[in-house]
């Protein structure tokens, strides 16, 4: 192999490793509210496995198996159904009603049961970043995410 080709191959391999590493991925999700001991606004990523989903950020992680999930919603607020649940919020939702009736979904809410207790996590994520997750969650969980629809979505 010629030296120029070898250098180019090494450069491409190095770029693939750097861009393919998880450390290079920008956090897309923010912990907005929930029953877990994670700081509000903690930025992290949502990992989807075959058995469940995990939100990881520097101050902690929350894992919910698909079989334990009772509700998944992607809306512009926290639904009345979730607000009426008697949950032990550690970070309370302070965005219950969107200002001026915003028409952009940005809160992904997951309610799940673990050890007979009901847990919830509310993650803030843009529609652009959430779109690929919706399809993958539907496939892996065999359960649909309730998405608040808008004509211009």
| Within-domain flag for 14 | no
| Within-domain flag for 84 | yes
Residue 133 reports pLDDT greater than 60: yes
| Within-domain flag for 112 | yes
| Within-domain flag for 16 | no
Please say whether the beta carbons of 109 and 72 come within 8 A. Answer: yes
**CATH code where residue 96 lies:** 2.30.29.30
| Within-domain flag for 136 | yes
- Domain extent, residue 59, equals 26-147
pLDDT interval class at 103 (50, 70, 90): low
| Within-domain flag for 75 | yes
| Within-domain flag for 17 | no
pLDDT in tens, 14-29: 333 333 334 455 779 9
Q: Domain count for the chain, please give it.
A: 1
| Within-domain flag for 44 | yes
Provide the edge-to-edge strand list for the sheet that holds 29-34: 60-65, 52-57, 43-48, 29-34, 117-124, 107-114, 69-75, 146-147
């Amino acid at each position: 192999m010629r030296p120029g080709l070898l250098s180019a191959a090494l450069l491409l391999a190095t770029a693939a490793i750097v861009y393919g590493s998880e450390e290079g991925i920008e956090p897309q999700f923010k912990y907005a509210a929930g029953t877990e001991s994670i700081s509000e606004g903690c930025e992290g990523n949502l990992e989807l496995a075959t058995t469940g989903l995990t939100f990881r950020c520097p101050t902690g992680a929350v894992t919910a198996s698909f079989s334990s999930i009772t509700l998944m919603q992607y809306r512009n607020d926290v639904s009345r159904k979730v607000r009426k649940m008697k949950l032990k919020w550690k970070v309370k939702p302070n965005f219950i009603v969107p200002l001026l009736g915003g028409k952009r979904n940005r809160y992904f809410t997951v309610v799940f049961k673990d050890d007979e207790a009901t847990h919830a996590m509310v993650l803030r994520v843009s529609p652009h970043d959430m779109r690929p997750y919706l399809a993958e969650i539907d496939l892996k969980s065999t359960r649909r995410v309730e998405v608040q629809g808008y004509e211009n979505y």
